[in-house]
Amino acid sequence: MAENQDFRYSPIGVFDSGVGGLTVAREIMRQIPKERIIYFGDTARVPYGSKSQETIIRFSRQIIRFLQSKGVKAIVIACNTASALALETVQPEFDIPILGVVKAGAKEAAKVTKNGKIGVIATESTIESQLYTKEIHSHKPNAQVLGKPCPLFVPLVEEGWLKDPVTVEVANRYLEPLLESGIDTLIMGCTHYPLLRSTLRQIMGEKVNLVNPAYETARELKALLERDGLNNDGKQSYEGAMHEFYVSDAANKFKNFANSILPYGVDTTQLIHIEDY
């Protein structure tokens, strides 16, 4: 597609309510390493998981306008809550492809389940939206989907208590109803949760599939770029850094967290006023 030649060297926009979406950026860097990323973390307004749909849509529109001003060729909503509450509304409003993590995660879960019983752990807003259930049913109408909000997981991860006895006790409490119902597949429906993978594995046992939507989303993005002739072949040089990171609050936390999980040094995180977009 000749018309896309100008855009194939453009970056991918990735956004999240804060640092969690870096786990999605990491998967994109691993799976399609020639793509450049413009990352935005809404650290001034984090978290999204307890907020209303109207607010999440307003925030998402501002961020997409910001990312468009940076000339991105496609956008990944790395935040499960924004994917669940805003994607459907904002997708038709913009003229570039916008992907969310929920669809990819739901599709994979529907594929790998054998007994048709799927658990979803996520923020309160994501669970209330019922979007995981709706998306799973679009692939597997008879699946039984059990959602469970886990509001303490994000603060526990941010406290760094990944394998702490307190975290194990909280996880036991949250996961008990899912264990009892006999699910064979569990979607880690919030970007922070894969960082609790070993605790989740310990509680759920070896036989339950743990689905990480970040991994599936990066695969879907790769396929979309190839299909549309938008994939970067790495042959054009560029000025400045390979990836750019923007935040709405200058907390050092972002840089520290980013440098701890990314295979890429984040030295120059730039602060912007997202409310102006």
The verdict on 173 binding its own copies (CB under 8 A) reads yes
Question: Is 133 one of the annotated binding-site residues?
Answer: no
Six token digits for residue 55: 């607010």
- DSSP three-state, residue 163: coil
Minimal distance, residue 93 CB to its own copies, in Å: 19
Omega of the bond leading into 151 within 30 degrees of 0 (cis): no
Cβ atoms of 23 and 39 closer than 8 Å: no
- Say if residues 72 and 38 touch (Cβ distance below 8 Å): yes
Q: Residue 259 CB, nearest distance to its own copies (Å)?
A: 18
The pairing of beta strand 209-211 with beta strand 98-100: unpaired
DSSP secondary structure code for residue 199 in this structure: H
What residues numbered 210-269 form the site for its own copies, per CB under 8 A? 248-251, 253
Is 232 annotated among the ligand-binding residues? no
Residue 129, CA distances (Å) to 80, 110, 183 in order: 11, 18, 21
Q: Does 54 bind its own copies (CB under 8 A)?
A: yes
Mark residues 135-154: x for contact with its own copies by CB under 8 A, - for none: ----------------xx-x
Size of the site for its own copies (CB under 8 A): 26
Point out which residues pair with 266 in neighbouring strands: none
How many angstroms separate the CA atoms of 138 and 107, rounded? 9
With CB under 8 A as the contact rule, the residue among 50, 69, 198, 260 that binds its own copies is 50
Per-residue exposure over 128-141, b if at least 16 CB sit within 10 Å of its own CB, e if not:
bbebbbebbeeebe
Piece of the chain touching its own copies by CB under 8 A; list 46-54, 137-145, 188-196, 197-205: 46-54
Binding segment toward its own copies, per CB under 8 A, in 26-34, 43-51, 78-86, 102-110? 43-51
Among residues 1, 166, 241, 242, which is the contact residue for its own copies, using CB under 8 A?
166
Annotation: binding site for substrate: 16-17, 48-49, 80-81, 191-192
Residues in touch with its own copies (CB under 8 A)? 43-45, 50-52, 54-55, 151-152, 154-156, 158-159, 165-166, 169-170, 173, 248-251, 253, 275
